[in-house]
Amino acid sequence: MANLDYITAGESHGPALLAIVSGLPAGLTVDMEFVNAELRRRQGGFGRGGRQRIETDTAEPLTGLKQGVTLGSPLTFKIANKDNRLDDPTKTPPLRTPRPGHADLAGSIKYLTTDCRDVLERASARETAARVAAGAAASCLLAKFGITAFGFVRSVHQVRTDVVPSEAKLAEFVASRDASETFCPDAAATERQKDMIRQAGMEKSTVGGLVECHVFGLPPGIGSCMDWRDRLDARLAYSVMGIQAFKAVEIGLGVETASRFGHEVHDPIRFDASQAGTHNLGFVRDSNNAGGTEGGMTNGSPLVVRGTMKPISTLLRGMPSVNLATGQAASSDYERSDISAVSAASVVIQHVVAFEVARAMRVKFGGDSMGEMQMQVAGYLQAARGLRLGGAGT
């Protein structure tokens, strides 16, 4: 069984971040222009802080490629930190007062230190740059099978858009999102979201929001209902909740399913012979409340994953806390931060979702090389299209 996986390494103000991806098949061309464009997108968005004016994130491949093509060995990306000051005590003094909402207090107790900096350096969302690089490489694999992930901002604070991306108009949605300073494919909502971020800045506070990823082109049957650890929806929830500052994950209609009757939730199935040659094998739905998964597997509809990002926990105004060295009441210290990083979060969710989808594809189809994997996928689709009620099978 092919096992696509990755780990990241590095600290926020250390020399560099690393992403090590294992399990990519040999013969895959990794589009480094795309990888680096996605890293630049992660740095953008209205409400970002001063760190983004310092860094110019670029992924340098160190291992696993020959002339831009995977060898089948682990792929390693290095993303250098220009703000490299971790070993300079004059620039990184001890942080004794934990920030409410951050990893500071729990991490300091866990590692038996009164210096929260030892924890925040790794807990920082700076680490997500490495995850975006890994996910972008996985997206190069998905593209070979006509599968595309699209991430965007659904809401900032209470300012929400109700647009529904579609595969037929995906290029238009990408253009609208990329023209938006909040990465929301709705121009009117973008302006209201910017106003909300400005208001938070004037109040020396921060705002969170909802980010969403749709994956188009997935055939039915990716994932598993046989082992809870292999359910695609479960793996997606795990990976999205692993993004810094995320507090909830929804698939499809999500929490709203609890307040509807069954006939208002489940998506009726139709067969359209004219679509039998497409990725959905002709099985279509007039709604997608399930978000593209049933029983832990894809069902041929677009995959829809939504994440809730809380407001960033570093506030310019500070919050009541305790000095760990003295035990006395104190106001939390300010570390350079953003007013809103929801735009960046929409890039991160796109790529952690893409990676999990690619992982599930590798589990099902395997193959040491791209040619072998492509034959496995083609064989599966051919066999699935051959199934008819009353025909061969069990």
Q: 308: domain CATH number? A: 3.60.150.10
- Classify residue 393: in a domain, yes or no: no
Closest CA to 135 of 325, 390, 305, 257: 305
Tens digit of pLDDT for each residue in 348-383? 999 999 999 999 999 999 999 999 999 999 999 999
> What is the arithmetic mean of pLDDT over 329-336?
79
pTM value? 0.95
Give CA–CA dist 10/19, Å, rounded: 9
- Classify residue 305: in a domain, yes or no: yes
Distances (CA, A) of 248 to 60, 239, 287: 33, 11, 23
Q: 3-state SS of 267-318?
A: CCEEECHHHCCCCCCCEEECCCCCCCEECCEECCCCEEEEEEECCCCCCCCC
Q: For residue 270, with 0-12 CB atoms within 10 Å meaning exposed, 13-18 middle and 19 or more buried, which class applies?
A: exposed
- Classify residue 138: in a domain, yes or no: yes
Distances (CA, A) of 189 to 32, 96, 109, 153: 32, 40, 42, 10
- Classify residue 290: in a domain, yes or no: yes
- Classify residue 390: in a domain, yes or no: no
Backbone angle region of 157, left / alpha / beta, with phi > 0 → left and psi within -120 to 50 → alpha: left
Residue 390 confidence class, pLDDT cut points 50, 70, 90: very low
pLDDT of residue 388: 60
Tokens for 114?
């009164």
Asked whether the predicted pLDDT for residue 9 surpasses 70, the reply is yes
Using a CB cutoff of 8 Å and minimum separation of 24, what contacts does 53-58 make? Answer: 54/82, 54/83, 55/81, 55/82, 55/83, 56/82, 57/129
- Classify residue 373: in a domain, yes or no: yes
Q: In this prediction, what percent of the chain has a pLDDT beyond 90?
A: 87
Total number of domains in the chain: 1
Return the DSSP state at 15: S
- Classify residue 208: in a domain, yes or no: yes
Give CA–CA dist 276/378, Å, rounded: 14
pLDDT of residue 386: 87
Range of the domain at 265: 5-385
HSE value, Cβ hemisphere, 13 Å, CA-based, for 273: 1
What are the residues facing 214 on neighbouring strands? 150, 304
Residue type, 166: S
Tokens for 63?
């291992």
* 338 Cβ neighbours under 8 A, 6+ residues apart: 47, 48, 49, 206, 312, 344
Of the listed ranges 158-162, 305-309, 310-314, the least confidently predicted one is 310-314
Alpha helices (runs of H) in 71-186, residue ranges in sequence order: 104-110, 117-123, 128-143, 170-179
Tens digit of pLDDT for each residue in 240-282? 999 999 999 999 999 999 999 999 999 999 999 999 999 999 9
- Classify residue 111: in a domain, yes or no: yes
